[in-house]
Chain A
């Protein structure tokens, strides 16, 4: 999809299907005691609205014959950076529970800065350390918020 028109036709078709799917899901919602406002009401209205808007968007874009703006997609390198950055974020979330917030923060921040600016590994490690320490001292120790500490750090602190 290189232009807004192409994207709108694709998105319109997708939304129309999504609307139908929501309508189907809404029809399967279990209604217990009859109430003035059924739990199916809003999902059904929205399913229909999304379906109608999807069809409308696809049709309007299909008929459109004017100047079609291009979508600013990233180049190959930019797309690679986005994908790797998202992968690192996913790893950060996945590791937060087993490793704890401080350690996973240190790893995520260090790896991210190191990846975005390979010449600055020193800065990466320093920033990672600072944020890892802040996450423990401010949010876990001082504010007593229930962030995961991680068994490794727990053992280290107990020792």
Chain B
């Protein structure tokens, strides 16, 4: 794969045709809707619409599919901010500070910063995709199972540090999350694990049920018990101030880098990079205590990482035909449906097609910010809907979203159970984020550890003898040692940072 201005300009000429512009706009609009609706994620959104695009020429169809994908990334944060329902794991860090801002009457600025951060990160990611894809794709193949395991292990140790004083509770939360993900069949051997004789548990526990339960249902329980009238009594300014933008600009740029470079690695999804970006911002902030209480950088960073990772995912998809996320796998299916085989030959055999898609992403990014900023006011108004109406609506959308994962009532029961667990975790001061991240990455961790041990004939030393994994493992152990040191010195009761009022 090689970059040439001629190809890019030709790509823009194709993408700017009236027909392709129209389909990009339709894709952006549908994508935003898909992101906002909790019942349907980007992967299922694209999958549902894939058969309908057969009437379109291949380039227009894939332009529209790609627009749905990154449009959904824009829209995904809306429900996380206004009603504390992160529809996917990547929106969880956004919900931490975004929802706090909404409660303070600043849903508008939070949503606007999300849109701006997504635009900045999306554009920076696209520049990376355009110019550095060949070089970066080479780096990505150096990552084998030991590096993935070490990276995810490091991400887990970093996220526990978000627990503040409640380090032990952070570890417990993480361990319970990992345990939840282990319920069901072993991915390598198919052996039943922790099912306690209940056949239904063989289906495992989907992490969306866990996320929606822990966040949305427990939030509704806390709100109805205190009989609040609305999430926010006031709507402040809809747009962020210049001070807000200045304050979050650094976070946008840093998270773009974090999201893009980690997003090049197959298997590293936005659900991991958003947490890493959030943690990084908290660590380098002069006022880390603001995080969890409505820090605008805490909204900008995960959103930036989310979009940069999504854009970076196109590098392994186009260069090697490796999808980095379920929605990318559906996109890959779309490309193959049109007889296009992603991989190194794609750029040689179909340069017009590939560069038209890349050019359309620049245009789609601009379309999305133009489309989303005027809608900020409308979404922000959700916060002032009386809670006796909003609460049942949140439950309705949570049930829809959870049921639509596998169309099993069992998943909705699991969601309810985790709603109750989340309620008690809030009351007892347990952080929720480590549990969520652990649930999401547990299977990937186990798979990569299994593959690593296969490579090394059972020796765990493989994690410490390969340079990249050794660095990640060292950072993880430093993080653990620091946590233990802080724990020994701490003479305060264990209460999670998010819970301190």
Contact = CB atoms under 8 A, between A and B. Distances in A.
Given A61-B494, A66-B493, A82-B221, A145 B39 contact: yes
Contacts of B179: 22, 43, 46, 50
A133 interface: no
A90 B415 CA distance: 11
B61 interface: no
Given A32-B189, A36-B458, A127-B389, A25 B194 contact: yes
B475 interface: no
A17 interface: no
Nearest to B446: A42
A62 B494 CA distance: 12
B494 A74 contact: no
A49 interface: yes
A156 interface: no
A74 B226 contact: yes
Contacts of B336: none
A148 to B, nearest CB: 9
B141 interface: no
Contacts of A109: 392-393, 396
A145 B44 CA distance: 10
Contacts of A105: 396
A71 B39 CA distance: 34
Nearest to B397: A131
Interface in B43-96: 48
Contact of A97 (B393, B409, B427, B453): B409
B388 A39 contact: no
Contacts, number: 179
Contacts of B450: 35-37
A105 B395 CA distance: 10
Interface stretch (B105-113, B164-172, B352-360, B371-379): B164-172
A69 B460 CA distance: 43
Contact of B494 (A30, A57, A117): A57
Contact of A60 (B48, B396, B442, B494): B494
A113 B171 contact: no
B400 interface: yes
Nearest to B407: A146
Interface string B9-41: 000000000000000000000000000000110
Given A54-B172, A116-B388, A127-B389, A96 B409 contact: yes
Given A4-B429, A36-B454, A82-B225, A112 B416 contact: no
Contacts of A82: 221, 224-225, 423
B71 to A, nearest CB: 16
Interface string B170-199: 011001101100100010110111101000
A8 B188 contact: no
A147 to B, nearest CB: 7
A109 B388 CA distance: 10
B176 A144 contact: no
Interface in B148-173: 168-169, 171-172
Given A39-B186, A46-B182, A131-B393, A139 B427 contact: no
Contacts of A68: 493
B227 interface: yes
Given A57-B168, A109-B393, A93 B407 contact: no
Given A30-B191, A93-B416, A112-B392, A69 B493 contact: yes
Given A8-B493, A8-B494, A42-B182, A72 B427 contact: yes
Interface in A68-124: 68-69, 71-74, 77-79, 81-82, 85-86, 89-90, 92-93, 96-97, 101, 105, 108-109, 112-113, 116-117, 120, 123
B389 A113 contact: yes
A31 interface: yes
Interface in B191-237: 191-194, 196, 217, 220-221, 224-227
A137 interface: no
Interface in A20-65: 22, 25-26, 29-33, 35-37, 39, 42-43, 46, 49-50, 53-54, 56-57, 60-61, 64
A139 B400 contact: yes
Contacts of B495: 4, 69
B446 to A, nearest CB: 6
Given A42-B178, A86-B419, A101-B400, 19 more contacts: A4-B428, A25-B196, A32-B191, A37-B454, A39-B186, A42-B442, A43-B194, A53-B171, A56-B168, A57-B169, A60-B168, A68-B493, A85-B391, A86-B221, A90-B416, A113-B389, A117-B386, A131-B393, A147-B400
9 contacts: A30-B192, A53-B175, A74-B226, A81-B227, A116-B392, A127-B392, A127-B393, A135-B396, A146-B407
